[in-house]
Amino acid sequence: MKRRGIVVVGSSNTDMIVRLERIPQPGETLLGGEFLMAAGGKGANQAVGAARAGGRVSLVARVGEDMFGRQAIAGLRRDRIDVSRVRRDARSASGVALIFVGERGENSIAVASGANGRLRPADVKRAAPLIAAASVLLLQLEVPLDSVQAAARLARRHAARVILNPAPARALPDALLRQVSILTPNETEAGTLTGTRVGSEQAARRAAGLLRARGVETVIVTLGARGALLVGQEGSRLIPGFAVQAVDTTGAGDIFNGALAVALAEERPLAQAVRFANAAAALSVTRRGAQPSAPTRERIDRLLARS
């Protein structure tokens, strides 16, 4: 029997979003904003993005024993995500993200990690049967690095594909990168990982080459509205994005990664999988919030069919 499941190991937050004319400068107060509270966290966002795109998804995470934790779990269940490995932590509050969004869709985010910072390798070990049976493991960096590394090692031991979205950006050890099947940085993250400035497609291609030299099989540098640069054993290729009117870019990278995991679990060729992910991410920026903006499979297929 073919393995089609997706396991996400990562964070769950509550996003508190203020939409303003522009993002405030340090020391500046802006009035007249609009407030929205929504489920977020990169791990939970990717799990929801994958589930709505048609994936069978399990999440490994920690939340607090508080109102935010209860709401997060209830929301994940509504999207038919397996939350059997989401642990309620009595010692820490649930994670919270404070987000400013400007009129042009740009955002600025501050995160209080809370229970996310207490996700342990032991939590990953308890999820070993899920990971062993999965086709794709999806990781990010809003939980402790030792837990990320434990999950990657376990997945590779069971021949699951490992996708690492290296966000928030930080230096990473080669021992982890060698476990990664597909690395999905944006331009800023690619620059942080390589110590270079990535401001063009050519620079992104060079950075991807440096990352592949450190052991990553395939690098996909996301380029916003321009699409995504796919760099692997067969060379490099720009997969164009989709023209949409951006309202809020919060969570677009997470939706891209969730949809990418679905397409790969369905055994689509890599270039087709990236196009599918580009479509999902494009649709997500046309609506507000991270998880609320995750498109359904029907919307993704409709955009692909008419483009």
| 304: pLDDT strictly greater than 80 | yes
Against a cut of 0.95, is the pTM above it? no
Pairing of β 235-240 and β 227-232: antiparallel
**Side chain identity at 297, as an amino acid letter?**
R
Residue 3 — very low, low, confident or very high, per pLDDT cuts 50/70/90? low
**Diameter of the chain measured on Cα atoms:** 58
Any alpha helices (H) in the chain, and if so which ranges?
42-52, 67-78, 121-126, 128-132, 145-157, 174-177, 187-194, 201-213, 252-265, 270-284, 297-305
pLDDT of residue 2: 59
Q: Which of 15, 89, 123, 254 is catalytic?
A: 254
Which of 8-17, 56-65, 96-105, 204-213 bottoms out in mean pLDDT, i.e. has the lowest?
96-105
Residue 47 — very low, low, confident or very high, per pLDDT cuts 50/70/90? very high
Going by C-beta distance under 8 Å and a sequence separation of 6 or more, which residues neighbour residue 25?
none
- What is the rounded CA–CA span in Å between residue 137 and residue 163? 6
- What is the rounded CA–CA span in Å between residue 138 and residue 158? 14
> Is the CB of residue 300 less than 8 Å from the CB of residue 244?
no
> Is the CB of residue 114 less than 8 Å from the CB of residue 92?
yes
Average pLDDT over residues 60-75: 97
Average pLDDT over residues 156-167: 97
CATH class of 6-296: alpha beta
Active site residue 248: no
Residues 88-135 have pLDDT tens digits of: 999 999 999 898 988 887 888 888 999 999 999 999 999 999 999 999
pLDDT of residue 1: 44
Residue 4 — very low, low, confident or very high, per pLDDT cuts 50/70/90? confident
pLDDT of residue 211: 97
Pairing of β 161-164 and β 136-139: parallel
| 36: pLDDT strictly greater than 60 | yes
